Structure 1
Amino acid sequence: MVQLWRMRMLPSNVIPGHPDYDALAKVRDGVLALAGGGDHVHQAFPGAIRDAIDFVLDPVRTGRTELHQLDNVEKTFVGLKIEHYVRDFLGAPKGMRDLVIAGQDVDIKNTLDNSWMIPPETYADADPCLVITSKEQESTCWMGVMLARMDYLNAPNRDGKRGVKSDAVRNILWLVEGAPYPTSVWRDFDMGHFNRLRKVQPGTTRAADFFRSNIDKVVPREVVQALLHDQLDPLKRLRKNQGARGVLEPEGIALLSGSFGRKVLHALGRPEIPNDAFLAITARTEEDRQTLLSLNAISS
């Protein structure tokens, strides 16, 4: 079976004059009306993809950060979360299928690996489907509408479901086409080292080792929470007194937070970081070192 996420998504042939255009345009316009316009769809939908993937991975509790670490059942949960996010975002009621849009029952189908699988009750009458896919390595996503015509589908599997033929992708009317979604916050970190550190005790040593290994990398709050997953007060392990900041300062490493590090970053001419993020830095020059000393960001 052709894997959609490894192939180039084909451009749509669905324009006025295409046999499916009128039916699909009606569903598309219904989606856009519920969403408040195309701009709103492009703003909200990509973030929902990221949220759904991270919700199922659950890095804070499990330490898993990549889709290949999920089993097949868990991957279906990603699709279910996306379905829920889309339904809540549109505010569309649930009918005989997943959604009622423009007076029609519409199935939502998501895939991470293979073709969308269409059930018999949907292709029996060539009902419309809202199809969704994403490429995690490229952080791009698609959402479109298609009719479940038999001509577009492969032979049924044991459950009677049929996959969409690779060349039938041209019969999808795209609402979102190759849009970027937020990249994983974990992508810049050595996850092998990270998961080994999750077992290190005490938590302060663990935090100090992590930031010592990730100088000049912005560390989001959720990464700290996952690193210190077994601590009642994870952020306490980053403080100066009996925390990682106190361990790192004598080494010339300043551990800054977005909310309390602005003064230091400004003095060094460095960009600000988000309020809920953290950053370990060292002096690049002797002038930087003196600045850090004067601001009590490091110990002499």
Structure 2
Amino acid sequence: MRAPKGIRDLVIGNRDVDIKNTLDNSWMIPPETYREEGPCLVINSKETESQCWMGVLLAREQYLNAPNRDGKRGVKSSAVANVLWLVEGADYPPSVWRAFDMAAFRTLREVQPGTARAADFFRQNLETPVPREVIEALLFDQDDPMKRLRKNQGARGVLGPEGIALLSDTFGNGLLQEMGRGKLPPRTFIAIKPRNDVERQKLEEIGAIDA
């Protein structure tokens, strides 16, 4: 059952509740919440461990630091003991973005045309599985993002002559396993360079790189 939205993020038990997320227990509480010592649903996400914690904290005066320039107040480290934890150390799927340099990704999104952008991205991320959603975010302004990966006028056609094979779960997955590189999950791509002459020959045979 979904909690309705009220003046703040949620209404639970007829109370307006703020939701605050952090990576390090440093939630920032706005004036409208701490003036009333209102409840906050606080979430702590540990990206490196892919675990999260969720609990309830009342925004009491004694739990908060001095206001910043925006009037918001951070939760004191000593006040974390006052959180009523509802979820502790729950596992969640790793973010698909963890494997990528986001500063470089944002820069690449400005590259035109889309085919050059896709080719540059795969050059920078060799041997890294890339989910389709990452490709779609990279090629956000293209009418047909997947067309920019094809051999004809796409990234495969650019990378193949450079000795870089662009494979996917539907094109080359069996060969990847044969080469000991593991099976790609659905809707995933990977760019590789052959590690030896045997791999080069196999990739040439399927047309993934130029002979």
TM score, norm. by length of structure 2: 0.75
- Asked whether the equivalents of residues 253 and 280 of structure 1 are also in contact (C-alpha less than 8 Å), the reply is yes
Instruction: Give the 5 Å matches for 1:182-193.
Output: 182-193=93-104
Please report how far the alpha carbon of residue 278 of structure 1 lies from its aligned counterpart in structure 2 after TM superposition: 0.9
CA distance in 1, matches of 2:122, 2:43: 38
Q: 2:11 aligns with which of 68, 89, 99?
A: 99
Provide the secondary structure at the position in 1 that maps to 2:127. Answer: coil
Written as runs of structure 1 = structure 2, the 5 A alignment for 1:194-233 is 194-233=105-144
2:164 aligned partner, one-letter code: I
| Structure 2 gap ranges (5+) | none
Aligned-partner residue type, residue 235 of structure 1: M
* AA at the equivalent of 2:18: I
Contact kept in structure 1, 2:163 and 2:194, CA below 8 Å: yes
- Verify the 8 A CA contact 2:27 2:42 in the aligned structure 1: no
* 2:45 match: 134
After superposition, residues 6-85 of structure 1 pair within 5 angstroms as: none
Which of 183, 186, 203 is residue 272 of structure 1 equivalent to?
Answer: 183
Q: Which residue of 2 aligns with 1:27?
A: none
Q: Residues 230, 106 of structure 1: CA spacing in aligned structure 2 closer, same or farther, 3 A cutoff?
A: closer
Q: Distance in 1 between matches of 2:190 and 2:149?
A: 11
SS of equivalent to 1:143: strand
**Could you tell me how far 1:234 is from its partner in structure 2?**
1.6
Structure 1 residue 179, shift from structure 2 partner:
4.1
Q: Which has the higher contact order (CA 8 A, sep 6+)?
A: 1
The residue correspondences of 1:107-256 to structure 2 (distance < 5 A) are: 107-112=17-22, 114-117=26-29, 119=31, 124=36, 128-134=39-45, 140-154=51-65, 163-256=74-167
Give distance in 2, aligned partners of 1:149 and 1:191.
37
Question: Alignment length, in residue pairs?
Answer: 208
Q: Contact 1:264/1:295 (CA < 8 Å) preserved in 2?
A: no
CA distance in 1, matches of 2:57, 2:6: 18
CA distance, structure 2, for counterparts of residue 95 and residue 198 of structure 1: 37
Higher strand share: 2
Mapped contact 1:218–1:279 kept (Cα < 8 A)? yes
Structure 2 letter corresponding to 1:176: V
The structure with the greater share of residues assigned to helix is 1
Shift of 1:161: 6.7
Equivalent AA in structure 2 for residue 247 of structure 1? V
For 1:283, what is the secondary structure of its paired residue?
A: coil
Q: Is the 8 Å Cα contact of residues 264 and 297 (structure 1) preserved in structure 2?
A: no
- What root-mean-square deviation, in Å, do the aligned CA atoms of Structure 1 and Structure 2 show? 3.4
Paired with 2:175 and 2:192, the residues of 1 have a C-alpha distance of: 10
Structure 1 position 265, deviation (Å):
1.7
How big is each residue's C-alpha offset from its partner over 1:251-287, in whole Å with a ceiling of 9 and x where there is no partner? 3221112233322223323212222221011222222
CA distance in 1, matches of 2:158, 2:106: 21
Structure-1-length-normalised TM-score: 0.56
* Structure 1 residue runs without a partner (length 5+): 1-89
Greater Cα shift, 104-113 or 148-157? 148-157
Q: In structure 1, how many angstroms separate the alpha carbons of the residues matched to 2:7 and 2:106?
A: 44
**C-alpha contact 1:215 1:280 (8 A) present in aligned 2:** yes
Instruction: Look up the SS of the partner of 1:269 in the other structure.
Output: coil
In structure 2, relative to structure 1, the CA distance for the partners of 1:93 and 1:226 (3 Å cut) is closer
Quick one: distance in 1 between partners of 2:32 and 2:167?
56
